[in-house]
Structure 1
């Protein structure tokens, strides 16, 4: 066994792995008190909203994969809110906006995270909402040690807070540093958020002991009560975003919140290495992972990936570029009835289609963006992307960055969190909370959290699955995953923050674990890489022609050979790419879990 940064945890009672040690410990406390994985996920997720406000929030968005041990069913709970009823392409163009920005009111959609947690509470939990929310309320009220990255993020947007977003300044510029900046490690409180959670708990508790009634009461109070009223009032007031005139009101209204509910659906799934991999559907980027794994199997992954040499990395990168090109042409929430159906997903994963795509991989790095024709459909790319490309489909100007979107993000966008749990009964959760970032939208007065800005992922051009339409889910990079065995039994919950890179970093992780037989921690610790060749889904949607980012631990000989194959290699820090965590059930029945040392905050706990 190779050296690992920490032990892979093995036990029988329960496992929690997440991107923050306080969330992991909070979830484990619920398991220790007799709760199941669904209870623990709610408690840990609410803590993540408090302690990682630069990465997610109570008003954000989130897909959740759940596995029910009793029924054997694996399902997706969609906590991705939709575009407002008045948010049309023409409405944005009337404002002189040709590409939705990444910050401020113009990008606001319905907050979905809280609705997803309440759906989980109503359908699978065993403990009252008051008990599950108590730890998060305590960290909001009494404070938590501010992460260094959070302190850096707040410092970067402090002037925006001081000059324009006073509600955010009132929460985050109350520290001991110059001008009220909070210092890394100092106690940060958000009493406004604590008040909001306590009011929601009080409403839930007043509904009685039935958890379905509690969940519905809290959900209704959020989406049609005091929370919705505060959001509606705030959304009507123009807020600075630096776009066009510099301040805009939101399209989002209280009626949009009242009309929305979290939904539940079958996951997208395909086979790999004798297992089934489950992901959210084409409204997420989850099928990108499935496509990459299928391409790698078609390319003979079992022989290629025994070592982290240049040949294996090259094929993995080229497979990701093909899958990401399909992502650009085909992914999104809706299409016409004949196209964006289960048939499209099936055609993208079809064996003949995959083999034909795999044959496009050569010994040289390809400089084009090549979406395929699943089921014989003719691919189209949005105008912004086409204008950034040459007539032969090549990115222009040789190596370097191109920007298919327009404009620059006003302030830095946020990242994401992740959470994996499994209990002693075999119930499991993989959740990826994100959005509602403190740096991307001003805090709503009286609520203590920000609105999601996921509308930036829509195109303001008709005819695409990712085109803006009222009531449509924006496409999202959020992408939790699960592994099932050949008989459909749960084996692993996994995922990572990282935007467009989420479904690239998990490729070598799964190959190392499922094909090479590495342990969870060893597979997480191993060197990571990703391609930046395809357009990002985040404004302003940059791409790097032939771009490949790789941790230095791959070794200079491997990096040199990748350059010889035509990749534009950016050497990243030795421990800088990815924040994967995982928790599951081994074939021998033991539970196990692992978390990423990168970022120095993720942790797994269990016994």
Structure 2
């Protein structure tokens, strides 16, 4: 009998999860094991100090795991303005929020897993201690920042420039400090029950030696950042002690027999549902997926949906976000009518009832604050950057797991990138830079405030069909995550392509919207398209007014997916674009 299926953005993480499934663990055990390995083997894309949203299926019900940490108590606009900032930098210590990933993984393991913490952490500890083949892109990131690390971030230099030089491509890289941190957590994980032992591990991280080291470092070290000046952090041990990951009901949207589940608007996930509302399945099913009509409709729908994202989305625990209105049939019909046969290269949000003043205020802010200076590229697409001198950006990883009992996990961990923040001596990891997604202007949905979750780009997906199929999918890619997922889901759910074909078909995305990352730049009308689209399609898109940039086949998109059929049969798929060793395994 098949014991499960797993797909992730790195082969070593996929193997770690597969080993757990083969040993009798469930999808939650496997997801945690794979997620912790991803922190080791893709350190330029995620880390222990990062963030974690996940959507999972258990006992016939979908739930969201929110391990997106909020801002510290000291994160006020007044403080950041006093530091001489108009935008929150994309790196350094002022960019951090409370790291949520570790607590999220532990909560998932405690409540839904079956295995002991030491067994689930074993692969990650071994790879950190004994070494793993370091990825070329990680080496390139370190090499680019070597002088900066040496001059400004000594903890990062000590870890990543061992012997004073960057790691060698293809060589083994060890992170002994991280291995020791995790071993110490495992040693402190004592208790009468499995659940108590996992809670003790959470306490070690958030109310013990890890939190103390983080608080002391943020207060005692001034970190140089992209603003050109050095700043201490505002994250404290008290902020850490008060944090707990938690569960939420997903936002859902029905499409062609499928129910799509996404995070709430503290993530950008609802933008996928909004875009689908503008692209009816009966219309999309009859359009050639490589035609100019298909590309144009998808891009124009994304422009409208993302304009709404930037105007409305924020932490719904703090801000009133009119999601019901934004996903209503009447609203979608009105927005769909705004799509013409020509590219609209303006920023054009819709106006939900009662939100006219907010729309006007946000339009003014975006006009003043977003910079038409070219898009920001995460490492996934670093080869596409027009300015090769820019600081390397962070990105994201993704995993999908299904077990023999029908449990499913879709997770998109990110943050804590080696280039985002100085490595904390003795811990072997750095903090996240998610606070850069806030604005330093008052009275906007995304204005900085203490205790508020940033509107993250992290966006796992889960969907179930009326016939009993259940689908897990996602991708790294920042602002591109839901754009690439939209392409996959329309091709799979509306056009009937199989998993692999839907993942591997030509990809494209818009860079028209303001980036979520510092310096919040944009390319008005920008459309990035892979070169395996037909020449006539590309020429027709230019004629429609899109500012087209053609990139090589296989340049964008690292999607993975897993599917469970009603009879229990499992499928897993990872796009050929997963150049970091992404893999799928049926156990």
Provide TM-score, normalisation by structure 2: 0.94
Checking the alignment, whether the CA contact within 8 Å between 1:334 and 1:472 is kept in structure 2 is no
What is the SS of the residue equivalent to 1:303? coil
- Please identify, of 293-302 and 140-149, the stretch whose mean Cα deviation from structure 2 is larger: 293-302
Aligned residue in 2 for 1:295: 278
Taking the TM superposition and a 5 Å limit, the aligned residue runs for 1:512-531 are: 512-531=491-510
Taking the TM superposition and a 5 Å limit, the aligned residue runs for 1:167-182 are: 167-174=155-162, 179-182=164-167
What is the SS of the residue equivalent to 1:87? coil
Residue 386 of structure 1 pairs with residue 353 of structure 2:
no
Residue 192 of structure 1 pairs with residue 177 of structure 2:
yes
Deviations 1:559-594 (A, max 9, x none): 111000000100112101110000120244310000
Checking the alignment, whether the CA contact within 8 Å between 2:406 and 2:568 is kept in structure 1 is no
What is the SS of the residue equivalent to 2:455? coil
Aligned residue in 2 for 1:183: 168
Rounded Cα–Cα distance in structure 1 between residues aligned with 2:458 and 2:402: 20
Taking the TM superposition and a 5 Å limit, the aligned residue runs for 1:15-94 are: 15-68=5-58, 71-94=59-82
Aligned residue in 2 for 1:236: 219
Rounded Cα–Cα distance in structure 1 between residues aligned with 2:281 and 2:8: 33
Checking the alignment, whether the CA contact within 8 Å between 1:298 and 1:355 is kept in structure 2 is no
Gaps of 5+ in 1: 1-10, 390-394
Cα displacement (A) at 1:433: 0.7
Rounded Cα–Cα distance in structure 2 between residues aligned with 1:373 and 1:243: 35
Residue 554 of structure 1 pairs with residue 533 of structure 2:
yes
Rounded Cα–Cα distance in structure 1 between residues aligned with 2:90 and 2:338: 34
Match for residue 282 of structure 1 among 265, 273, 277: 265
Taking the TM superposition and a 5 Å limit, the aligned residue runs for 1:66-145 are: 66-68=56-58, 71-145=59-133
Checking the alignment, whether the CA contact within 8 Å between 1:38 and 1:120 is kept in structure 2 is yes
Aligned residue in 2 for 1:365: 343
Cα displacement (A) at 1:490: 5.7
Aligned residue in 1 for 2:465: 485
Rounded Cα–Cα distance in structure 2 between residues aligned with 1:211 and 1:59: 24
Checking the alignment, whether the CA contact within 8 Å between 2:396 and 2:477 is kept in structure 1 is yes
Checking the alignment, whether the CA contact within 8 Å between 2:255 and 2:281 is kept in structure 1 is no
Aligned residue in 2 for 1:3: none
Rounded Cα–Cα distance in structure 2 between residues aligned with 1:541 and 1:165: 24
Checking the alignment, whether the CA contact within 8 Å between 1:80 and 1:113 is kept in structure 2 is yes
Cα displacement (A) at 1:598: 1.2
Residue 250 of structure 1 pairs with residue 233 of structure 2:
yes
Provide TM-score, normalisation by structure 1: 0.91
Checking the alignment, whether the CA contact within 8 Å between 2:133 and 2:173 is kept in structure 1 is yes
Deviations 1:175-198 (A, max 9, x none): 6xxx51111110000000000011
Cα displacement (A) at 1:307: 3.3
Rounded Cα–Cα distance in structure 2 between residues aligned with 1:336 and 1:433: 23
Checking the alignment, whether the CA contact within 8 Å between 1:421 and 1:584 is kept in structure 2 is no
Checking the alignment, whether the CA contact within 8 Å between 2:289 and 2:491 is kept in structure 1 is no
Match for residue 263 of structure 1 among 246, 250, 263: 246
Rounded Cα–Cα distance in structure 1 between residues aligned with 2:285 and 2:563: 23
Rounded Cα–Cα distance in structure 2 between residues aligned with 1:382 and 1:559: 31
Checking the alignment, whether the CA contact within 8 Å between 1:203 and 1:217 is kept in structure 2 is yes
Question: Structure 1 pair 98/131, CA: closer, same or farther in 2 (3 Å)?
Answer: same
Rounded Cα–Cα distance in structure 2 between residues aligned with 1:459 and 1:132: 39
Deviations 1:293-317 (A, max 9, x none): 111018822233x432000110000
Aligned residue in 1 for 2:552: 573
Checking the alignment, whether the CA contact within 8 Å between 1:200 and 1:222 is kept in structure 2 is yes
Match for residue 324 of structure 2 among 343, 346, 356: 346
Rounded Cα–Cα distance in structure 2 between residues aligned with 1:89 and 1:27: 42
Cα displacement (A) at 1:149: 0.8
What is the SS of the residue equivalent to 1:468? coil
Question: Structure 1 pair 207/382, CA: closer, same or farther in 2 (3 Å)?
Answer: farther
Match for residue 488 of structure 2 among 500, 503, 509: 509
Question: Structure 1 pair 51/419, CA: closer, same or farther in 2 (3 Å)?
Answer: same
Cα displacement (A) at 1:334: 3.8
Match for residue 326 of structure 1 among 308, 313, 338: 308
Q: Please tell me the root mean square deviation across aligned C-alpha atoms, in Å.
A: 1.9
Checking the alignment, whether the CA contact within 8 Å between 2:318 and 2:452 is kept in structure 1 is no
Aligned residue in 2 for 1:8: none
Gaps of 5+ in 2: 377-387
Aligned residue in 2 for 1:222: 205
What is the SS of the residue equivalent to 1:375? coil
Deviations 1:308-353 (A, max 9, x none): 200011000000000000011001104767x33xxx1111110010
Question: Structure 1 pair 402/112, CA: closer, same or farther in 2 (3 Å)?
Answer: closer
Checking the alignment, whether the CA contact within 8 Å between 1:89 and 1:469 is kept in structure 2 is yes
Question: How many residues are aligned here?
Answer: 572
Checking the alignment, whether the CA contact within 8 Å between 2:45 and 2:417 is kept in structure 1 is yes
Aligned residue in 2 for 1:451: 431
What is the SS of the residue equivalent to 2:162? coil
- Please identify, of 242-251 and 256-265, the stretch whose mean Cα deviation from structure 2 is larger: 242-251
Cα displacement (A) at 1:388: 6.0
